[in-house]
Structure 1
Protein backbone atom coordinates (compact mmCIF):
# COMPACT_ATOMS: atom_id res chain seq x y z
CA UNK A 1 0.00 0.00 0.00
CA UNK A 2 1.45 3.34 -1.06
CA UNK A 3 1.65 6.20 1.41
CA UNK A 4 2.41 8.85 -1.22
CA UNK A 5 -0.01 11.73 -1.51
CA UNK A 6 -1.63 12.13 -4.97
CA UNK A 7 -0.28 15.68 -5.28
CA UNK A 8 3.25 14.53 -4.51
CA UNK A 9 3.05 11.88 -7.24
CA UNK A 10 1.79 14.43 -9.77
CA UNK A 11 4.69 16.75 -8.97
CA UNK A 12 7.20 13.95 -9.57
CA UNK A 13 5.86 13.41 -13.09
CA UNK A 14 6.72 16.91 -14.27
CA UNK A 15 4.64 19.79 -15.55
CA UNK A 16 1.56 19.89 -17.75
CA UNK A 17 3.67 19.71 -20.92
CA UNK A 18 4.37 16.06 -20.15
CA UNK A 19 7.92 16.61 -18.97
CA UNK A 20 9.56 14.43 -16.38
CA UNK A 21 10.60 15.99 -13.08
CA UNK A 22 14.21 16.14 -14.30
CA UNK A 23 13.20 17.83 -17.57
CA UNK A 24 11.03 20.31 -15.67
CA UNK A 25 14.00 21.21 -13.46
CA UNK A 26 16.18 21.84 -16.52
CA UNK A 27 13.50 23.96 -18.19
CA UNK A 28 12.93 25.98 -15.01
CA UNK A 29 16.70 26.54 -14.72
CA UNK A 30 16.93 27.78 -18.33
CA UNK A 31 13.94 30.09 -17.90
CA UNK A 32 15.39 31.57 -14.71
CA UNK A 33 18.80 32.21 -16.27
CA UNK A 34 17.99 33.06 -19.91
CA UNK A 35 17.76 36.78 -19.13
CA UNK A 36 21.32 36.84 -17.81
CA UNK A 37 23.04 34.43 -20.23
CA UNK A 38 22.57 33.15 -23.75
CA UNK A 39 24.93 30.15 -23.87
CA UNK A 40 24.78 27.22 -21.47
CA UNK A 41 27.14 24.26 -21.32
CA UNK A 42 25.58 20.92 -20.40
CA UNK A 43 28.21 20.28 -17.74
CA UNK A 44 27.57 23.63 -16.03
CA UNK A 45 23.80 23.07 -16.02
CA UNK A 46 24.52 19.63 -14.60
CA UNK A 47 26.73 21.05 -11.84
CA UNK A 48 24.04 23.55 -10.82
CA UNK A 49 21.26 20.94 -10.81
CA UNK A 50 23.26 18.04 -9.34
CA UNK A 51 22.90 15.98 -12.52
CA UNK A 52 25.41 14.56 -14.98
CA UNK A 53 26.16 16.30 -18.27
CA UNK A 54 24.90 13.16 -20.01
CA UNK A 55 21.55 13.43 -18.19
CA UNK A 56 21.22 17.07 -19.25
CA UNK A 57 22.05 16.31 -22.88
CA UNK A 58 19.70 13.33 -23.01
CA UNK A 59 16.79 15.48 -21.78
CA UNK A 60 17.38 18.66 -23.77
CA UNK A 61 15.41 17.58 -26.86
CA UNK A 62 12.25 17.17 -24.77
CA UNK A 63 12.95 20.44 -22.95
CA UNK A 64 13.48 22.32 -26.23
CA UNK A 65 10.27 20.90 -27.68
CA UNK A 66 8.20 21.77 -24.61
CA UNK A 67 9.58 25.28 -24.15
CA UNK A 68 7.18 27.85 -25.58
CA UNK A 69 8.60 31.01 -24.02
CA UNK A 70 12.27 30.37 -24.78
CA UNK A 71 14.14 28.95 -27.78
CA UNK A 72 16.66 26.20 -27.05
CA UNK A 73 19.10 25.28 -29.81
CA UNK A 74 22.13 23.02 -29.82
CA UNK A 75 24.81 25.51 -30.66
CA UNK A 76 28.21 23.93 -30.47
CA UNK A 77 30.46 21.24 -29.14
CA UNK A 78 33.82 22.24 -27.76
CA UNK A 79 34.78 20.65 -24.46
CA UNK A 80 31.10 19.75 -24.05
CA UNK A 81 27.78 20.59 -25.66
CA UNK A 82 26.72 24.22 -25.60
CA UNK A 83 23.08 25.30 -25.88
CA UNK A 84 21.94 28.69 -27.10
CA UNK A 85 18.88 29.87 -25.17
CA UNK A 86 16.98 32.98 -26.14
CA UNK A 87 13.86 34.44 -24.57
Structure 2
Protein backbone atom coordinates (compact mmCIF):
# COMPACT_ATOMS: atom_id res chain seq x y z
CA UNK A 1 0.00 0.00 0.00
CA UNK A 2 1.41 3.38 -0.96
CA UNK A 3 1.71 6.33 1.38
CA UNK A 4 -1.09 8.06 -0.53
CA UNK A 5 -3.42 5.08 -0.11
CA UNK A 6 -2.64 4.96 3.61
CA UNK A 7 -3.40 8.68 3.96
CA UNK A 8 -6.68 8.29 2.03
CA UNK A 9 -7.69 5.33 4.19
CA UNK A 10 -6.92 7.34 7.32
CA UNK A 11 -9.01 10.28 6.05
CA UNK A 12 -11.99 7.99 5.36
CA UNK A 13 -11.68 6.44 8.82
CA UNK A 14 -11.56 9.92 10.38
CA UNK A 15 -14.64 10.99 8.39
CA UNK A 16 -16.54 7.90 9.52
CA UNK A 17 -15.59 8.61 13.12
CA UNK A 18 -16.65 12.24 12.75
CA UNK A 19 -20.02 11.22 11.28
CA UNK A 20 -20.62 8.98 14.28
CA UNK A 21 -19.87 11.87 16.60
CA UNK A 22 -22.42 14.27 15.10
CA UNK A 23 -25.16 15.71 17.28
CA UNK A 24 -28.77 14.98 16.39
CA UNK A 25 -29.13 18.41 14.69
CA UNK A 26 -25.92 17.93 12.69
CA UNK A 27 -27.00 14.47 11.61
CA UNK A 28 -30.39 15.82 10.46
CA UNK A 29 -28.69 18.57 8.42
CA UNK A 30 -26.25 16.12 6.83
CA UNK A 31 -29.04 13.67 6.00
CA UNK A 32 -31.16 16.43 4.47
CA UNK A 33 -28.29 17.67 2.29
CA UNK A 34 -27.31 14.14 1.22
CA UNK A 35 -30.89 13.27 0.28
CA UNK A 36 -31.39 16.44 -1.78
CA UNK A 37 -27.93 16.88 -3.35
CA UNK A 38 -28.88 14.99 -6.53
CA UNK A 39 -31.79 17.31 -7.30
CA UNK A 40 -30.42 20.61 -6.02
CA UNK A 41 -26.98 22.26 -5.79
CA UNK A 42 -27.52 25.43 -3.75
CA UNK A 43 -29.14 25.53 -0.32
CA UNK A 44 -29.92 28.59 1.79
CA UNK A 45 -29.51 28.19 5.54
CA UNK A 46 -32.96 29.64 6.21
CA UNK A 47 -34.63 27.14 3.86
CA UNK A 48 -32.77 24.19 5.39
CA UNK A 49 -33.86 25.53 8.78
CA UNK A 50 -37.52 25.73 7.71
CA UNK A 51 -37.46 22.15 6.47
CA UNK A 52 -35.86 20.82 9.66
CA UNK A 53 -37.59 22.97 12.27
CA UNK A 54 -34.39 24.82 13.18
CA UNK A 55 -33.27 28.44 12.98
CA UNK A 56 -30.92 29.63 10.23
CA UNK A 57 -28.43 30.45 12.98
CA UNK A 58 -28.55 26.84 14.24
CA UNK A 59 -27.92 25.56 10.72
CA UNK A 60 -24.93 27.89 10.26
CA UNK A 61 -23.49 27.07 13.68
CA UNK A 62 -23.58 23.33 12.91
CA UNK A 63 -22.29 23.39 9.33
CA UNK A 64 -18.58 23.14 10.21
CA UNK A 65 -19.15 19.72 11.83
CA UNK A 66 -21.43 18.67 8.95
CA UNK A 67 -18.79 19.66 6.38
CA UNK A 68 -16.11 17.69 8.25
CA UNK A 69 -18.31 14.59 8.50
CA UNK A 70 -19.72 14.64 4.96
CA UNK A 71 -18.28 11.66 3.08
CA UNK A 72 -20.68 11.33 0.15
CA UNK A 73 -21.11 15.06 -0.57
CA UNK A 74 -18.96 18.17 -0.72
CA UNK A 75 -20.32 21.24 1.06
CA UNK A 76 -18.89 24.71 0.48
CA UNK A 77 -20.00 28.09 1.76
CA UNK A 78 -21.04 29.85 -1.41
CA UNK A 79 -22.70 33.21 -0.80
CA UNK A 80 -23.97 35.64 1.80
CA UNK A 81 -26.58 37.78 0.03
CA UNK A 82 -29.90 37.52 1.85
CA UNK A 83 -28.54 34.71 4.02
CA UNK A 84 -25.81 32.13 3.71
CA UNK A 85 -25.97 29.84 0.70
CA UNK A 86 -24.22 26.46 0.61
CA UNK A 87 -23.10 24.70 -2.56
CA UNK A 88 -23.53 20.93 -2.25
CA UNK A 89 -22.14 18.49 -4.81
CA UNK A 90 -21.88 14.73 -4.87
**TM-score, length-normalised on structure 2?**
0.78
- The C-alpha deviation readout for 1:51-72, integer Å capped at 9, x for no partner, is 0000000000100000011000
Unaligned stretches of 5+ in structure 1? 1-14
Give runs of aligned pairs for residues 57-72 of structure 1, distance below 5 A. 57-72=60-75
User: Stretches of 4+ moved more than 4 A in 1?
Assistant: none
- State the aligned residue count: 73
Higher RCO (C-alpha 8 Å, min separation 6): 2
**Which structure has the highest helix share of the two?**
2
Gaps of 5+ in 2: 1-17
Residue equivalent to 1:17: 20
Superposed CA RMSD in Å reads: 1.2
